[in-house]
A and B are shown apart, each in its own frame.
Chain A
Amino acid sequence: MTLTITKIAEDLAAGRCSSREVVDDLLARIKAHRALNAFISVDEEAARRDASAADRARGAGGGGILAGVPIAHKDIFCTSGVKTTCGSRMLADFVPPYDATVVQKMKAAGCVMVGKTNMDEFAMGSSNETSFFGPVRNPWDRDRVPGGSSGGSAAAVAARLVPAATGTDTGGSIRQPAALCGITGLKPSYGRVSRYGLIAFASSLDQAGPMAQTAADCAHLLSAMAGFDERDATSLDVPVPDYAAALGTDLKGLRIGVVKEHFAQGVEPAILDVLREALREYERQGAVLVDVSLPNSSHAVPCYYVLAPAEASSNLARYDGVRYGFRAAEYRDLEDMYKKTRSEGFGPEVKRRIMIGTYALSAGYYDAYYLKALKLRRLIADDFARAFERCDVLAGPASPSTAFALGAKNTDPVSMYLNDIFTIPVNLAGLPAISMPAGFVGGLPVGMQLIGRYLDEARLLNAAHRFQEATDWHARVPAGI
């Protein structure tokens, strides 16, 4: 079945269906596929009400392509009056009094929110298994993980429960689940999309982005999400292009850098075969392949696992049981309240990262860990800058493996962390990157990652779109969906 924004918008415009009918249908599908556990909360009443309101508004004329289009938000975005858990017991009953900027903007574009998607606790995980609300199942194989941390959003789109969902990406949390679930997901340049109302994991790396079936849909979504926000001092005050309008440029002469280190040991050989075939499609369209190297990218994972936990250890200090969220039932004194609240409110992966981060920032270790990681971050960014002197986009796998079995890696944090080996360097450099379906291995989707220059989202979206015009990997539907 085709469930794209483009198709829904056409149907709505032609009067073939109403937003209310689309939403009713999707709410039924969400119910039918509850076993995927893709959603943490679904507000049927509000979704139906908003869909009807969108229909009335469209009747009165006006509204863009997103008007009346149902979407889901990752449960990391604050939604006014709607429970926002961040996948954690700590915020299991937290109802924000305000909307994240991304939520506000999607609302303003006319999107109808049907629910909040499941995720790894505080976005810390690559399998969606750290969620307090249980793991999400991959629609292609229910015994496998959807990837993480935006696993709920990826599974929901892959299972055609919604045409699109928002995600966030700190070290690969949009691209890796997009790859494992066979959908398209874009991590924009750092600063492109406001972080206001996005519950922070690692502030210098977090970025919100769209997840959908197609690059064209991602383009529409990004145009609506992106832009300067005076409430986020790290958001960029530069104009937002019409990304959809830039689609359709031919790829003649596009220089695609093939990253040596990404086509190497540690990646399933069958995945590399799929990617080489995808690159041949690009060559057929006139693109030129260039060999490039990112020599420092091997340092990216350790660098990231110092910086991200360091920031997280500070960002998560506010969950102290004093003002909102979970508070332990019994405690002797203030310190005991802190200890019990945080011991009981956070899951093991979150605690592990808080401890790593606290250690890395401690007196006597700061220089050896935090400062050194900052220097590495610089070197990793320099690698990209050099590579982009010779090419326009970089290509490689989004993940070293296809979806792995539930429980396969959650006892070994390091093997879990290595899942993000190709996505993490991009966050460290603040660059945009897209993951899109490039084929299948053993019946499971394979994602190809395209990395762009800073603020060059339009080129990435166009390159992915041209690929999707020539292939149908992105249109494949899991069995039973």
Chain B
Amino acid sequence: MEWETVIGLEVHAQLKTKSKIFSGAPTAYGAAPNTQANVVDAALPGVLPVLNGEAARMAARFGLAVGATVHKRSVFARKNYFYPDLPKGYQISQYEQPIVERGRLEITTASGEKVIGITRAHLEEDAGKSLHEDMGGFTGIDLNRAGTPLLEIVSEPDMRSAAEAVAYLKTLHTLVRYLDICDGNMQEGSFRCDANVSVRPLGETRLGTRAELKNINSFRFVERAIEYEVRRQIALLSSGGQVRQETRLYDSARDETRSMRSKEEANDYRYFPDPDLPTLVLTDAFLAEVKETMPELPDAKRRRFCAQYGLSAYDAGVLTASRELARYYEEAVEAAAVEPKLVANWVTGELAARLNEEGLDIASAKVTAQALAGLVRRVADGTVSGKTAKDVFEAMWAGEGSADAIIASRGLRQISDDSAIEEVVRQVIEANPKQLAQYRAGEEKVFTFFVGQTMKASRGKANPAKVNEILKRLLAP
């Protein structure tokens, strides 16, 4: 039987507010335990939550960016359950009336473009962390993360393969960073993902029983966890078994998913509207302001790069993968004032390769956009050949100075003067009478021998185009 995979994703994006969503305490990551938590985060008796308006602004920005309805009225609800790192015994979230509903995100995979529906996005607070290491057998509680604002983004079950899930996740990841609402750091847990996975016979319209996969906090793990889970479910169903609705944990060390709790064991969260927080009301003026201050989105930027710089869709896609990379490119184009495609080649070529090799992001590039522009300009005006320019780039990366300084100090300036090149070519021809005879006898492949000799004699500095042209003229019988 042929099977179809159905995937929906729930992403928790930590919002980049300076302070927490309900307490005013700072949100700094990596501080000593419990130094970023105040009496509200610790849920002392008598304390009350007050909404941080920045969190609502960021949620609204996201909603507008995915073409969703941003509700003018939304309601905070309490999700009740006991856990040591949940200080109030409930999490403040949004339930029946979320701030954002019905959006869409366009993704591109090897098999083309596809639109993934976004069911909803709602605001909620993060929990603290339980610490088990170095606690002498006790469990420690660190409330630094408690109350950090989260935007939970729930997709429709629109994805049909692990590859589509990853593409959606990457597109979303790019988007939240473009919007400057989430730093996207998956290692620190700023961008987390749960996947609802089910399979069904191809052609079936009803959904199969799903498993919810947790702990899949890298793009690679998302792909592997889903692939494992799909294999597991298909094997189960093919052998006459049934999939249980349950939560499963992905174990990356063993590359498998394991049952965490079944539906029957799930909590009854007893959601109800939080009486401490009035209905969140967004005014028209507020929404208009959010709209006005919306940054250019990845899609629009990609289309503009194609139109404005004459780039291929592929190059434009690579260059707009992050706002920082796109900004780097545009700065370099402006500074270089040459054919933008040439700049694109250098950014997606040498620069990208170097960053990749050293595991750096664009912000830590050792060659600035202005410096790179200086080099590309010298390629464009023929001062150095493309090949020589690569050596210059390496020297720039190593911190030896600007392109012009390196070209000058190493004497790399290309020889384009016709008479100088002619002089070298004559010497080469005179020194190789045998090859000259072969060439004139019709052995055209000997031509490349002369090119090589000429370049060698000029120590690589002769303009290759001119060398070709002059050789052809002088070798002719």
- The chain A residues found within 8 Å of chain B, CB to CB, are 77-78, 84, 86, 91, 94, 96-98, 100, 195-200, 202-204, 230-234, 310-311, 313-314, 316-318, 320, 322-324, 334, 338, 358, 361-363, 366, 370
Determine the chain A residues whose CB is within 8 A of the CB of B78 once the complex forms.
314
| A233 & B50 in contact (Cβ 8 Å cutoff) | yes
Given contacts A91-B45, A231-B50, 16 further A-B contacts (CB under 8 A): A84-B45, A98-B39, A98-B44, A196-B47, A197-B46, A199-B46, A200-B46, A203-B276, A233-B51, A234-B276, A311-B275, A317-B80, A320-B84, A324-B44, A362-B268, A370-B272
| A197 & B47 in contact (Cβ 8 Å cutoff) | yes
Given A317-B90, A320-B89, residue A233 in contact with residue B82 (CB < 8 A): no
**Is B263 part of the binding interface, using a Cβ–Cβ cutoff of 8 Å?**
no
| A314 & B45 in contact (Cβ 8 Å cutoff) | no
Given A230-B50, A231-B50, A363-B268, residue A317 in contact with residue B44 (CB < 8 A): no
**Is B26 part of the binding interface, using a Cβ–Cβ cutoff of 8 Å?**
no
Given A314-B78, A362-B270, residue A322 in contact with residue B51 (CB < 8 A): no
The 4 closest A-B pairs by CB, nearest first: A317-B89, A204-B275, A361-B270, A203-B275
Determine the chain A residues whose CB is within 8 A of the CB of B270 once the complex forms.
313-314, 358, 361-363, 366
Question: Closest CB of chain B to A280's CB: distance in Å?
Answer: 41
| B277 & A233 in contact (Cβ 8 Å cutoff) | yes
**Is B42 part of the binding interface, using a Cβ–Cβ cutoff of 8 Å?**
yes
Determine the chain B residues whose CB is within 8 A of the CB of A203 once the complex forms.
275-276
Determine the chain A residues whose CB is within 8 A of the CB of B88 once the complex forms.
317-318
| B45 & A94 in contact (Cβ 8 Å cutoff) | yes
Please name the residue on chain A nearest to B45 by beta carbon.
A199
| B46 & A318 in contact (Cβ 8 Å cutoff) | no
| B276 & A314 in contact (Cβ 8 Å cutoff) | no
Q: How many interface residues does chain B have, given as a range?
A: 20 to 34
Determine the chain B residues whose CB is within 8 A of the CB of A202 once the complex forms.
275
Determine the chain A residues whose CB is within 8 A of the CB of B374 once the complex forms.
none
| A323 & B87 in contact (Cβ 8 Å cutoff) | yes
Query: Interface majority SS on B: helix, strand, loop or mixed?
Result: loop
Ordered by A's residue number, 13 sampled pairs between the chains whose C-beta atoms are within 8 Å are A91-B45, A196-B46, A199-B45, A199-B46, A230-B50, A233-B50, A234-B48, A314-B78, A314-B90, A317-B88, A318-B87, A320-B84, A324-B42
Determine the chain A residues whose CB is within 8 A of the CB of B42 once the complex forms.
323-324
Question: How far is it, in angstroms, between the C-alpha of A204 and the C-alpha of B277 when the chains are bound?
Answer: 10
Residue from the set B49, B50, B78 with the largest chain A CB neighbour count within 10 Å: B50
| B46 & A100 in contact (Cβ 8 Å cutoff) | yes
| B43 & A323 in contact (Cβ 8 Å cutoff) | yes
Question: How far is it, in angstroms, between the C-alpha of A78 and the C-alpha of B45 when the chains are bound?
Answer: 8
Please name the residue on chain A nearest to B42 by beta carbon.
A323
Question: Closest CB of chain B to A331's CB: distance in Å?
Answer: 13
Determine the chain A residues whose CB is within 8 A of the CB of B189 once the complex forms.
none
Question: How far is it, in angstroms, between the C-alpha of A302 and the C-alpha of B279 when the chains are bound?
Answer: 26
Given A314-B90, A317-B89, residue A366 in contact with residue B47 (CB < 8 A): no
Question: Closest CB of chain B to A177's CB: distance in Å?
Answer: 21
Determine the chain B residues whose CB is within 8 A of the CB of A313 once the complex forms.
80, 270
Determine the chain B residues whose CB is within 8 A of the CB of A197 once the complex forms.
46-47
| B80 & A314 in contact (Cβ 8 Å cutoff) | yes
A320 touches which one: B51, B82, B275 (CB < 8 A)? B82
Question: Closest CB of chain B to A45's CB: distance in Å?
Answer: 25
Question: Closest CB of chain B to A470's CB: distance in Å?
Answer: 40
Question: Closest CB of chain B to A192's CB: distance in Å?
Answer: 15
Question: How far is it, in angstroms, between the C-alpha of A198 and the C-alpha of B276 when the chains are bound?
Answer: 12
| B141 & A318 in contact (Cβ 8 Å cutoff) | no
**Is B452 part of the binding interface, using a Cβ–Cβ cutoff of 8 Å?**
no
Residue from the set A84, A96, A313, A318 with the largest chain B CB neighbour count within 10 Å: A318
Please name the residue on chain B nearest to A197 by beta carbon.
B46
**Is B310 part of the binding interface, using a Cβ–Cβ cutoff of 8 Å?**
no
| A322 & B84 in contact (Cβ 8 Å cutoff) | yes
Question: Closest CB of chain B to A393's CB: distance in Å?
Answer: 27
Q: Mark B223-259, 1 if CB is under 8 A from A, else 0.
A: 0000000000000000000000000000000000000
Determine the chain B residues whose CB is within 8 A of the CB of A84 once the complex forms.
45
| A96 & B80 in contact (Cβ 8 Å cutoff) | no
Question: How far is it, in angstroms, between the C-alpha of A72 and the C-alpha of B138 when the chains are bound?
Answer: 41
Determine the chain B residues whose CB is within 8 A of the CB of A358 once the complex forms.
270
